[in-house]
Structure 1
Amino acid sequence: MFVATLIAAGKLTDEVVREGIDRLDATGHEVGAPHWLDVGDAADIVFQGSLVSARAELAKMDHGALDVVVQPLGDRTKKLIVADMDSTMITVECIDELADYAGIKDQIAAITARAMRGELDFRAALFERVGLLGGLAEGVLAECRMERVRLTRGARTLIQTMKAHGAYSVLVSGGFTAFADPVGEAIGFDKVVANHLEISGGKLSGRVLEPIVDSAAKLETLKAEAAKHGLPLAETLAVGDGANDIPMITAAGLGVGYYPHPSAGAAAAAVIRHHDLTALLWAQGYPRRQWVMG
């Protein structure tokens, strides 16, 4: 059994839900009656048939603000979430904002964008960008965090709700602990994994300390935390936006691209392009009355 969750907050109509049912029916799926999670916001369609075919068919629905998540029904409520930070749990790329204080934002942002699209090796791109920040005063890290970093809408509600229902949460970032640790605390993550900037004489040395949190480390974090908590990968959720998130996204029970770069979007089982992070609660079957508002 599978479930297709149609999400269009404040704009989901009976007609759109009916179209989803008709599309599944016309492509040979056995479809049940729809179930509203929240009327006008999100609805489930349970069906039997082909997961791949259903995803392809429902992706053709063109209603502007509609996001669709299609997945196996049995394990939809996840017990582990592993989430990227930059441009996922927060609205910015921290290294780009930090570069602004050094007067080289455009230069570093261009490298970041290419790395997130998968055009550059993440590790090499990280070393290059951090090297360009060498000599920046350590105090700028806190200044940048306070002035530039904002939580993505729905981040706290997503994590607090999942935790209230027994899930474990990990923030895993190719960014830096100077940002990730306070962000993780503000959102309520159980654990934070991120890179450590080397500081020497009160300034950034231009180096990152080993081990490096790259795509392989993100995948290993997902697998290790699942094993630690006795969970099959089917009961995990991974969410991110960049190429370095692809391995964990493809390994998780539900891998989500959140406003993703094209390569991550193509690899993800589900893509959110129109809603905040609370869409991932509807995707897990939580109606709004069960949310823990952050």
Structure 2
Amino acid sequence: MTLVATLIANERRPAITDAVLAEARAVLATDHQPRILHGEVAAELLVPGDAAAAPALARRLRAAFAAEPIDVAVLPGGRHRRKRLFLADMDSTMIEQECIDELADTIGLRARVSAITERAMRGEIAFEPALRERVALLRDLPLDTIDALIRERITRTPGGRILVQTLKAHGAHTCLVSGGFTLFTGPIAAMIGFDEAHATTLGVRDGRLTGTVEEPIVGKETKRATLIALRSRLGLDPAETLAVGDGANDLDMLGEAGLGVAFRAKPKVAAAARVQIEHGDLTALLYLQGYAASEFVD
């Protein structure tokens, strides 16, 4: 088996220089020449070895470039490298905000709600009761507040639309799956171009939030179950699946995916995921699959 070592920087801070690539070749003890995926932003090297050797090689690369703004991954090559099913978390992954915190901010409760959000995403408290507690504080909030938030405050994470559009152009099915709310995922999934979206439904009456959520809440079990159901529906091998997220409620989904990526994630999630992206934007997930920037679609 041949492994592929991928080095990724951010387009705003290119760092994959000739010197970096020479050092990577030495660390990996490979004679293969690097394949440049995008200038000084991303490159990959072939490394002889089997899957069991990948974690140790990745640790060596991280140690070598610990002081550099470079993400590294060592993954198997082969026919399932390019994925055919992609599932993504929404808040702090495909968008840069936590929607419930933004809602709370409109009524002066951001600090209180965001503290609960942070603990839930770190896995310090259970997700479902934490969500109910936060939603209860939003009772009587007008629905048009959500439209204004999406329009004025929500920003897409750089690279997200290119990621989804490129995967779709190459035959992948894409799904946004969020512990957040359908009132957000519907418009946001459409903006980015996802094929479908799954999220929690907020209670609504007379144009206002009731402070309740409808069951089931999309927690970690539901996210994993959604991946399994879509994989089965599409007749895919587990290795053909890709998932990305940042919070503790994403862990089961990331673990079930053929490739689970922790994106600027909480420490517990980063420690458990196969790949961690801290410096690159969401196009990093394309480089991990061997896509060159010249293949990107937007």
2:70 pairs with 1:66? yes
Deviations 1:149-194 (A, max 9, x none): 1111111100000000010000000000111000000000001000
SS at match of 2:90: coil
1:208 maps to a residue whose letter is V
Q: Give a deviation string over 1:230-264, Cα, whole Å, max 9, x none.
A: 11111111000111111111111111111101011
The answer on 1:76 being equivalent to 2:78 is: no
Name the residue aligned to 1:24: 28
1:7 aligns with 2:11: no
Q: 1:241 and 2:213 equivalent?
A: no
1:123 aligned residue: 128
**How many residue pairs were aligned?**
289
How far has the Cα of 1:63 moved from its partner? 4.2
Deviations 1:49-107 (A, max 9, x none): 31121122112122421011221111221111100000000010000000011211110
For structure 2, list consecutive stretches of 5 or more residues without a partner in the other structure: none
The answer to whether the Cα contact below 8 Å between 1:31 and 1:45 also exists between their aligned partners in 2 is no
Aligned to 1:57: 60
SS of residue paired to 1:11: coil
| 1:37 corresponds to 2:37 | yes
What TM-score does the superposition give when structure 1 sets the normalisation length? Answer: 0.95
**Aligned residues of 1:24 and 1:31 also touching (Cα < 8 A):** no
Q: Which residue of 2 aligns with 1:278?
A: 283
The answer as to whether partners of 2:178 and 2:198 remain within 8 angstroms in 1 is yes
**C-alpha distance in 2 between matches for 1:48 and 1:131:** 55
Q: Does 1:88 align with 2:93?
A: yes
Scaled by the length of structure 2, the TM-score of the pair is 0.94
Distance 1:271 1:112 in 2: 21
- For 1:137 and 1:126, the matched residues in 2 are separated by 19
In 2: Cα distance, 1:91 partner to 1:38 partner: 24
Distance 2:35 2:147 in 1: 47
* Residue pair 2:15, 2:68 contacting (<8 A) in 1 also: no
Number of the residue aligned with 2:46: 46
Q: Percent identity?
A: 47
- What is the aligned counterpart of 2:203 among 198, 212, 221? 198
Distance 1:108 1:33, change over 3 A: same
Cα deviations across residues 243-294 of structure 1 (Å, max 9, x unaligned)? 111111111111111110101111111111112111111111111111002x
Supply the distance in 1 between the matched residues of 2:247 and 2:16 (Cα, whole angstroms): 29
Match for 2:180 among 162, 175, 186? 175
Segments of 5+ residues of structure 1 without an aligned counterpart are none
**Distance between the aligned counterparts of 2:67 and 2:74, measured in 1?**
17
Choose the corresponding residue for 2:103, options 98, 120, 138.
98
Deviation at 1:223, TM superposition (A): 1.0
1:87 & 1:39 partners in 2: Cα distance?
27
Instruction: Measure the CA separation in 1 of the matches of 2:110 and 2:260.
Output: 31
